[in-house]
């Protein structure tokens, strides 16, 4: 799904390598939020490497044009820590945005959205702007938005941060169920919390230290 | 040292102008994206905000301006010269005031809104979030704003001119007793293709440059939310500056 080969970025990555294969749940732990955000930007092609290679869905994206990158991003779902919702769109418009932008057929989209919202336990009004919603609700809406696209790879950016144990286990249940829904779907958790691999039972855990990824057993 | 500073400032200006030009060019290239539903929604929202919501006030301003102009002209040339009054009304309103007033209203209403909105989206990482979804911000955010603001400027200019001319004619016919036909004759003989094209070209160019400047300044905001007010002020002042520059240039090309 995502492979880094001797990836270097000045002051950040120093010939770092990493492989996240399909059907697996992986955790990448960083020491700072800045590093975590930069990794997310590299994986989504927003920040280009100085040297080395990055493969997404088996294709080397360093030389990709902007439209090729956008096409590759369609296969990824990103659930950002703050939800990544657009503040001038209502919650339901936010959830539908990528699907209605990329898909020409708008048939039964609403039903699909309502069904996903029910599954993840979003019980708030969706006809409001996201500004006043608590961070957890924004994250859930971001999750619904990513799920609606049926991605092959889904990246979770500190999604468990600040959640009570009850809600955390409910979210984890939904994430696990979503991963199992499609064969080969991979989940990547970017986080700074060292306890994360214990409760999500990840297949592999990488730690970023001094510009390199180290696999933790 | 001074020469270096001058060179740097010239280079900055060239870069800025090419940035604006690129935004406009890309907006034209991305026009087919209006077929995409969310892009169309942004476009219609902008049309509603910049054009339709402003329409009522624009018509009232137009009527009042028309009355003021025609009162001044009538006091200057006398009551019996309806044809001349009609001609001057067309020259002043169609050539100059229509596009200029519409541009000023669009600047007052939409430039600050667009630059602040895009600036805040940039600072809060919403534009990056849009890109992560595989959506091109130039297609989704910029093109509909540039197109809608330009169309709104043209539409507001048209309504302003119509209201100003009608307002002027009605007032002189009612209060000075100048026959309606005298004005109509003066207006129709003065309404030539160059007059109408100048008005159209001006409003189109004003709309393009105002929208490009506000988008450019909004997208430039990064890091801190305190930079948003600076961006909106810059966008407003630069839009006004460009509008007056273009106004001078077009008037010169068409009528001198």
Strands A51-56 and A13-20: unpaired
Yes or no: domain A24-49+70-216 corresponds to CATH 3.40.50.300? yes
Chain A interface, best mutation among B133, B138, B142, B228, by max A CB count within 10 A: B133
Q: B252 is written with which tokens?
A: 């010169």
- Nearest-CA neighbor of B134 among A44, A4, A39, A83? A44
According to the model, what pLDDT value does residue A110 have? 84
A93-147 pLDDT tens trace: 999 999 999 987 767 888 888 888 888 888 888 999 999 998 888 999 999 999 9
Domain carrying residue B22:
2-255
Mean pLDDT by 10 residues, chain B (256 residues): 88 93 95 94 95 92 89 80 79 90 93 95 94 94 96 95 87 78 78 88 96 96 90 95 94 84
Each domain of chain A, given as residue ranges in start order, spans 24-49+70-216
Q: Which residue of B has its CA nearest to A71?
A: B134
Number of structural domains found in chain B: 1
Check if the beta carbon of residue A109 is closer than 8 Å to that of residue A99: yes
Across the interface, of B37, B125, B135, the residue whose CB is closest to A106 is B37
Q: A73 CB near a chain B CB, below 8 Å?
A: yes
Rounded CA gap, A64 and A42, in Å? 13
Rounded CA gap, B38 and B49, in Å? 17
Task: Report the number of secondary-structure helices (H) and strands (E) in chain B.
Answer: 12, 0
According to the model, what pLDDT value does residue A103 have? 84
Q: Do A101 and B133 touch (CB under 8 A)?
A: yes
Strands A59-60 and A13-20: unpaired
Rounded CA gap, B236 and B231, in Å? 9
Q: What is the DSSP letter of A27?
A: E
Q: Which of residues 29-48 of A touch B (CB under 8 A)?
A: 40-41, 44, 46
Reduced to 3 states (helix: H, G, I; strand: E, B; else coil), residue B206 is helix
Chain B interface, best mutation among A56, A86, A150, A156, by max B CB count within 10 A: A86
Q: Which helix (H) or strand (E) holds A82?
A: none
Q: How many CB pairs under 8 A join A and B?
A: 67
Reduced to 3 states (helix: H, G, I; strand: E, B; else coil), residue A8 is strand
Reduced to 3 states (helix: H, G, I; strand: E, B; else coil), residue B246 is helix
Chain B interface, best mutation among A40, A81, A84, A100, by max B CB count within 10 A: A84
According to the model, what pLDDT value does residue B56 have? 92
Q: Can you say whether the dihedral through the CA atoms of B160, B164, B170, B175 is positive or negative?
A: positive
Q: Which of residues 84-103 of A touch B (CB under 8 A)?
A: 84-88, 93, 97-98, 100-102
Q: A169 CB near a chain B CB, below 8 Å?
A: no
Q: Which residue of A has its CA nearest to B136?
A: A70
Q: How far is A217 from chain B (nearest CA, A)?
A: 31
Residues of chain A with pLDDT under 50: none
Q: What is the ipTM of this complex?
A: 0.90
Tell me the chain A residues in contact with residue B134 when contact means C-beta distances shorter than 8 Å.
69-74, 76, 98, 102
């Amino acid at each position: 799904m995502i492979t880094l080969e001797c990836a270097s970025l000045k002051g950040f990555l120093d010939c770092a390598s990493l492989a996240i294969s399909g059907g697996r749940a992986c955790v990448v732990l960083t020491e700072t939020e800045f590093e975590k955000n930069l990794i997310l930007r590299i994986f989504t092609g927003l920040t280009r490497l100085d040297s080395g290679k990055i493969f997404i869905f088996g294709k080397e994206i360093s030389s990709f044009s902007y439209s090729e990158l956008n096409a590759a991003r369609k296969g990824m779902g990103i659930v950002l820590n703050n939800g990544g919702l657009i503040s001038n769109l209502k919650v339901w418009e936010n959830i539908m945005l990528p699907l209605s932008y990329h898909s020409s057929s708008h048939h039964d989209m609403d039903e699909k959205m309502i069904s996903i919202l029910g599954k993840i336990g979003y019980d708030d009004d969706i006809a409001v702007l996201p500004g006043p919603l608590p961070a957890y609700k924004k994250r859930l809406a971001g999750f619904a938005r990513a799920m609606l696209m049926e991605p092959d790879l889904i990246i979770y950016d500190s999604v468990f941060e600040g959640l009570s144990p009850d809600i955390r286990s409910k979210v984890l249940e939904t994430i696990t169920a979503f991963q199992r829904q499609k064969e080969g779907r991979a989940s990547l958790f970017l986080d700074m919390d060292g306890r994360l691999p214990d409760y999500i039972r990840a297949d592999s855990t990488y730690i970023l230290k001094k510009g390199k990824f180290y696999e933790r057993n | 040292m001074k020469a270096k500073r001058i060179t740097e400032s010239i280079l900055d200006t060239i870069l800025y102008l090419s940035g604006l030009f690129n935004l406009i060019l890309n907006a034209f290239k991305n026009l087919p994206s209006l077929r995409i539903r969310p892009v169309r929604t942004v476009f219609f929202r902008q049309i509603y905000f910049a054009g339709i919501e402003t329409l009522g006030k624009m018509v009232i301003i137009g009527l009042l301006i028309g009355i003021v102009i025609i009162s001044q002209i009538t006091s200057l040339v006398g009551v019996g010269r309806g044809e001349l009054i009609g001609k001057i009304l067309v020259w002043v309103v169609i050539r100059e005031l229509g596009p200029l007033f519409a541009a000023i209203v669009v600047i007052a209403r939409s430039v600050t809104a667009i630059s602040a909105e895009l600036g805040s989206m940039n600072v809060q990482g919403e534009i990056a979030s849009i890109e992560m979804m595989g959506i091109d911000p130039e297609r989704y955010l910029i093109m509909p704003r540039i197109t809608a603001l330009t169309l709104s400027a043209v539409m507001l200019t048209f309504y302003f001119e119509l209201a100003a001319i009608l307002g002027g004619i009605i007032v002189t016919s009612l209060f000075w007793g100048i026959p309606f036909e005298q004005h109509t004759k003066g207006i129709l003989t003065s309404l030539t293709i160059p007059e109408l094209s100048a008005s159209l070209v001006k409003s189109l160019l004003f709309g393009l440059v105002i929208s490009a400047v506000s988008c450019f300044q909004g997208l430039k905001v990064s890091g801190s939310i305190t930079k948003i007010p600076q961006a909106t002020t810059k966008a407003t002042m630069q839009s006004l500056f460009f509008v007056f520059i273009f106004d001078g240039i077009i008037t010169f090309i068409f009528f001198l």
